[in-house]
């Protein structure tokens, strides 16, 4: 397979990507105007041509002041097909199919590097063996309950550690290659 699927995400120390209600208010406000440290996100984002996210992640992003994915193809996985604003009609597509079918369809349209986002979406792509690389940034906070990054598995999944970076503000970012990915 020539298409690459990657994850770039933050979690609390206890492994949650959001509160149960989807809120990410516990994430530190890292946009202090200086933009001196982006924790590798810009480089990663530049390397992807397509984003695949779940409906809940899409709905959260729609609450942001600005659409953060301009210039990228965005696929929203949902059987409910949320309403798209006219301004995003050419950039966002809804799909309701399993991860392998999404990747197959995107590879046929020229996508080469997919950014997979959202708890259930990441879990589905992992279970299907489609994620090749994961960057996980741990935020030094316990939130006690929420939406986990990882869910139940039918079998163990092994990862090869690539690197870990520690930042002055306490964030710890690790990058992994998924062993036995498709």
The verdict on residue 107 lying in a domain is yes
Q: Considering the domain boundaries, does residue 8 fall inside one? A: no
- Across 87-115, average pLDDT: 92
Range of the domain at 52: 35-152+159-178
pLDDT recorded at residue 66? 87
Q: How many domains does the chain have?
A: 1
pLDDT at residue 169 tops 50 = yes
Across the range 102-110, mean pLDDT stands at 94
Is the pLDDT at 32 greater than 60, yes or no?
Answer: no
Phi-psi region of 62 (alpha: psi -120 to 50; beta: other; left: phi over 0): alpha
What are the tens digits of pLDDT across the range 118-139?
Answer: 999 999 999 999 999 999 999 9
Question: Residue 31: is it exposed, middle or buried by C-beta count within 10 angstroms (0-12/13-18/19+)?
Answer: exposed
Categorize the per-residue pLDDT at 33 as very low, low, confident or very high, splitting at 50, 70 and 90. very low
Domain presence at residue 16: no
| Percent residues over pLDDT 90 in the chain | 64
102 within a domain of the structure (yes/no): yes
Angle among Cα 165, 166, 167 to the nearest 5 degrees reads 120
- What is the CATH classification number for the domain harbouring 112? 3.40.430.10
């Amino acid at each position: 397979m020539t298409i690459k699927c990657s994850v770039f995400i933050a979690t609390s120390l206890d492994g949650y990507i959001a509160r149960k209600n989807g809120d990410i208010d516990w994430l530190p406000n890292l946009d202090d105007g200086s933009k001196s440290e982006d924790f590798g996100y810009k480089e990663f984002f530049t390397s992807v041509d397509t984003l695949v996210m779940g409906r809940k992640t899409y709905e959260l992003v729609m609450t942001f002041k600005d659409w953060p994915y301009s210039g990228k193809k965005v696929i929203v996985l949902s059987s409910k097909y949320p309403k798209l604003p006219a301004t995003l009609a050419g950039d966002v597509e809804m799909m309701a199919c399993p991860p392998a079918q999404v990747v197959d369809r995107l590879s046929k349209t020229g996508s080469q590097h997919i950014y997979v986002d959202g708890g259930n979406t990441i879990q589905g792509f992992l279970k299907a063996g489609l994620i090749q690389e994961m960057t996980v940034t741990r935020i030094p906070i316990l939130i006690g309950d929420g939406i986990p990054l990882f869910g139940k598995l039918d079998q163990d999944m092994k990862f090869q550690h690539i690197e870990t970076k520690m930042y002055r503000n306490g964030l710890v970012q690790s990058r992994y290659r998924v062993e036995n990915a498709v």
